[in-house]
Every structure is written in C-alpha cells, then in structure tokens.
Structure 1
Amino acid sequence: MLGEVLDAFGTLHLRSFVDCTLGAAGHSAAIIEAHRELELYVGMDVDPAVHDEARARIERLLAEDSRGSSLEAYTHVRNFKYIKSVLGGVDENLLAVGVDGILMDLGMSSMQVDDSGRGFSVLSDGPLDMRMNPQASLTAEDILNSWPESEVGKILRDYGEESNWHFLQKQIVKARASVGLHSTSDLVNLVRRASGRSGGREGWIKTATRVFQALRIAVNDELQTLEDALYACFDCLSSGGRLVVISFHSLEDRIVKQTFLDMIEKPEGDDDKGEISSGPSLLATESEAETWSKNRVQGRQGIVLTKRPITPTKEEEKLNHRCRSAKLRVLQKI
C-alpha cells in the first residue's frame, strides 16, 4: 500500500518522520524521496537482520541524495513500543517538539516469512520459533509443549479466532504427551489430520494459518505491545502530525480503531454510525483535502481521518496477494 501511505503524508510539510517497522525500507525510501523538505528520519525494527538490510538500503539512498548532510538519518534495533526512548536518545528536545509523521506497518517482512528458519511460514519446514526478536526467550515450541492446556486453547480461540480450537487443543496435548511438536511440519501435519476432509487443502491451510497467527501473536505479545505503542506514538506527534497504521488481521484493526478513538478523546454521545464531520480542517486548504478523508471523526485531541479504513485496490491485490487483508488508518493530532 505504498501509494496510500504516500497519500496519507502527502499534504504535510514533513520535517521529521519515524518508520516504526523498517522491514525492507520500501516505505522509508519512498517517503525520503517524496519529501525533499525532510530534515530528520528515524527507522526502527525489532529484528536485527531486517534492520541491517534496511539500514544498508537507506545508506545507499542517502549516498546518492543531493541533500547531503542536511537530512539526519538514524536507525535502531528496537521494538516500536520504545519510540519515546529512541527519540529521546536522538535529541532530548525532540519529544517536546514532536515529530510530523509516524508509520507503523504491522505486516511481517517478506524476509521473515521466506526464511524457513524463522518458523513463520505454513508452507516451509522449520523450527517452531516465530520470534520477531531472535534475542527473546519464548518460542512457539515452548508454548505448544509446555504451556497449560487451557492457555493453549485460549491462544487458539482468542488470537487465532479458530472455531475448532477445542479439538485442536486436545490434539496438541495428545501430541506433546508422546513425541512432542518440534517443527512447523509437525504442527501443520497435526492441523491437517485434525481438519480431516473438510474444506480440502484450502481448508486445512486456512486453519493452519490461523493457528500460526495465534502462536506468533502470543510469542511476541503483539496485541498488548501494539496498544502500548499506539499511545506512545501519539504522545510523540507534533501538533498537526499524523500517525499512519497498516494492520493485517481483525484483531489488530480493532485495536487500532478503538485506540485511535480513545486517543483523540471523542466526545461522549458520538457513536460510530453515520457520517461525522471533522469540523475545521487542519489542512492548508480544503482543495488539498484527501478524498479518502472526507468522513472523519473529530475529537478533543485529534481527528481520525479514516472513519473507514483504506484497503488495497484490486490491481494491488493481483500484484501482491499478501496485501489483500491490509487496512490503513490515519490519525492527525491537534
């Protein structure tokens, strides 16, 4: 959703920008190239390998950039929930002033998915790892083989939204009582057997995808980390600054939607039905107002510019099937 991200920041005079999820640095590179006025760039990623690849790309881009040293660029191997300490380390006055743009792309990097040794892919054999941060201690194998049965079931039900969670829970406990579950293939084969003939190959793959999602969320404490990070990012925004978040499943999107409404302090009595105008525009002129932000939610502390999330176009889905579930939301601080 590169075009949509550029649109979300397009009308801003972007002097400072933070990419909380570097990935392959595609978004960062595009923002740096599109905003010639940019003076400060900060990139973050919890995965050291991903960070190093992204850092190299940013360095190559800056080496070819005519702005020379006028753009200060920093990258850090840190979880985005630590954005305040990262920015404070860059410039102790930065938190008081705030930054103009912050991006969070919650999707996994292709480098992570395609590396079978990370254990994220349903279709590749590898260890049951699933750690975003390789230095963290908890793995998916730990959860499957040693966590209480009720906790395993709760993860499948709440984080995977899996309707067959109870039967899968029983099968996991049965498997770990014998040889255990030690590879992604072990887990996929268990799901395939548990799914039987229902839905064919597509059926068990969808179930396995939900199971993998549930474990990944639990291993990385993703939902609580996301909520904490959203509040931290909002605190780091300048007046008129924007926070753009791309989520990839309903649990994330619900947290982003509700947290945005909480952060802007939407007045009591305003529900989420019907059209809600933003009131006075924070944009330079009404003619610059983005077409996707016509219906907004006004609050005391900010404006949710995407009352309904932006989703990929059919053309983009054809080019990149991994983006088909993406939802982009934008918040602007007053």
Structure 2
Amino acid sequence: MVEAHPEMELYVGMDVDPTALEIGRGHIEAFLAGREANGGELRAYTHVKNFKYIKQVLGSLDESLAVGSSGVDGILIDLGMSSMQVNRSNRGFSVLQDGPLDMRMDPKATLRAEDILNSWPELEVGRILRDYGEESNWQFLQKQIAKAREMGGLHSTGDLVKLIQRKCTISKGRQGWIKTATRVFQALRIAVNDELRVLEDSLHSSFDCLATGGRLAVVSFHSLEDRIVKKTFLELIHGGEADDEEDDDDNLTLPDIDDEDEPWFNQRVQGRNGIVLTKRPITPSQEEEKLNQRCRSAKLRVIQKA
C-alpha cells in the first residue's frame, strides 16, 4: 500500500501476533530505506496490539488522529490466520501437523484450546462447535470430547484429529474428516481469541478513527466474520440497528454507480453517517486464486465515513 501511495505521510501497522509483526516490520524498514534514498518522507510505526485498541494506538502518536474529522484516511483490517501461523505446528492451528492444542493469536494470552476441550462445561463446548464452527454433528463430537476427558483428555492437535477421524465414516474418506476438522479447529480458534466480539469492537473503534471521507476496508475469510462486517457496517452508517431489509443483500434496491476510477464496486448503501461502498462483497478473481489458493474464501467489504 505504501508503495502504491507515494503521497502517504503516516503508516501504522498493528498485529496481535509479535511474530507476524516482526516479519512485517522487516518489509517496511526495507521499503523505507529505499524511499528515503529517493528523498521521500514517511513516518511508519508498528504496534503489537489488537485492532480493538486502535484509538489508544493512534492517540499515542497524535491525539487528533483518534477522533472525528481529524482522523486517518484509510484503515485495512485483514482477518483470520496467515500461512505462516498455519505452517508452524507449534501454534496448533493446523489439522495436518501434530502440535500443542494452543491456537492463541497472542502468545501472552492465557486461554488455550486445550483448556476449552478439557475444562469447559460440556454444553459450552458443544455450543462453540455449533455456533463458531457451524458443525452439524456438534452433539456427537461434544459427547466424544467428554468421553476423552475420562481417558485422560486431549493434549495435542493429533489427539483431536484422531477423535474426529473416528467420527467420520470410511465412505467420507480423507476430505470428509478434513472438512470436519477444519470446522472444529475454526470454532476453537474463534473461542480462544474471542474473535467475533473483538471484530465488532474493532469495527466500531476503527470507524470512529476515520476522517471525513475516510475508508475502512475489511477482508474476512468465513461466513461468521462476513456476517458481522455486513451487519455492523449497516449499523454504523444508520447510527443504530441495521434495517432488516437492508441487511438482506437480495432485498436492497440501490442506485448504480458509474465511476471509471473505482470500477470495483457497482452499488452502494447510503446512510446519514456514511456509505457502504460494497452492497455485495468483492471476491477474488480466477487469476488471484491461481496465485494464492488460500484467498479463495476471502471477502472484501468497504465503508466510507460521511
């Protein structure tokens, strides 16, 4: 982004994972070195913080950045895991590699997936699988997890995967258990990091920090996240609860926008506090999916502050 916008004067990067931030900081420093050699000026800062603390972070740099019309021009929130996190078995995110049942985005956090599976009430574990993983066989898995506690508990991703594999019939094959395991791992990761509540808080805080005409763009990777982004965007522009009809993509009757400079959106939702620029989310093109298969589930939504 900083390469595409030479007019940028201030860049602030935030990530709750210090490893991800360290990698990003390396790229930023390399770019800044080249930019300074060419006479460009850009202030860049990185913070090991969740986006729900964006007001605190921006306020520490300049109090005017965290409020109203003097805020920032653009914010991008990229949700979900990175390939780096998935590929490191010691983080506990991968269904294909054995590792600890961790799943913490923030290594300093205390709650781990192992704690939920072995200590939380059985009904609460079932609710997590149902609501956060959208797993149809959550009741059966809930009972199997409870039985596993009697045998000493679940202490590695391999233990959990084996439990799931026993649940899946032979007819479903490898893809059957992988899909189930992916949903279960997603559910536990969301619960460990309280991701959905944090997302909603982050959207409100980020919108507050935008300057007039500023934009907030959010990339989500599963339906639960996208649903919250869509609903919260509508609430933000209307200053309250999202209208039921406007919350339904198929019922929206909105004007087309003919803008050659921004052909990436076709319709918008106008509210007194802003505009949702993406009636429907923008999804990856076939060319993008060829470059990165993991982007295939990504959805981009953008809101602009009035």
TM category (shorter chain) comes to over 0.9
1:277 and 1:298 in contact (8 A); partners too: no
CA distance in 1, matches of 2:6, 2:223: 35
Asked whether 1:276 is paired with 2:288, we answer no
CA distance in 1, matches of 2:39, 2:111: 43
Find the partner of 2:27 among 45, 57, 60: 57
Structure 1 residues 1-334: aligned runs within 5 Å: 31-66=1-36, 68=39, 70-96=41-67, 97-265=70-238, 271=246, 272=248, 273-277=251-255, 287-334=259-306
TM-score relative to the length of structure 1: 0.86
Structure 2: which 5+ runs fail to align? none
Count of aligned residue pairs for this structure pair:
298
Cα deviation for residue 274 of structure 1 reads: 3.8
CA distance in 2, matches of 1:270, 1:111: 40
State the secondary structure of the residue aligned to 2:98: coil
Which residue of the partner structure matches residue 26 of structure 1? Answer: none
Letter of the aligned partner of 1:241 in structure 2?
G
CA distance in 2, matches of 1:226, 1:102: 14
1:116 and 1:125 in contact (8 A); partners too: yes
Bigger shift: 314-323 or 65-74? 65-74
Cα deviation for residue 46 of structure 1 reads: 0.3
Letter of the aligned partner of 1:88 in structure 2?
G
CA distance in 2, matches of 1:319, 1:46: 27
State the secondary structure of the residue aligned to 2:304: strand
State the secondary structure of the residue aligned to 1:293: coil
CA distance in 1, matches of 2:158, 2:30: 39
Cα deviation for residue 228 of structure 1 reads: 0.3
Structure 1: which 5+ runs fail to align? 1-30
2:78 and 2:218 in contact (8 A); partners too: yes
Letter of the aligned partner of 2:278 in structure 1?
T
Letter of the aligned partner of 2:253 in structure 1?
E
Cα deviation for residue 270 of structure 1 reads: 5.9
Cα deviation for residue 109 of structure 1 reads: 1.4
1:306 and 1:331 in contact (8 A); partners too: yes
CA distance in 2, matches of 1:173, 1:270: 42
State the secondary structure of the residue aligned to 2:31: helix
1:62 and 1:68 in contact (8 A); partners too: no
CA distance in 1, matches of 2:252, 2:122: 44
2:35 and 2:41 in contact (8 A); partners too: no
2:71 and 2:209 in contact (8 A); partners too: yes
Deviations 1:184-236 (A, max 9, x none): 00000100001122421101100000000000000000000000000000000
Cα deviation for residue 242 of structure 1 reads: 0.5
Letter of the aligned partner of 1:90 in structure 2?
L
CA distance in 2, matches of 1:120, 1:251: 18
Give % identity: 68
Cα deviation for residue 321 of structure 1 reads: 1.5
1:275 and 1:295 in contact (8 A); partners too: no
2:213 and 2:305 in contact (8 A); partners too: yes
Bigger shift: 254-263 or 68-77? 68-77
CA distance in 2, matches of 1:157, 1:53: 35
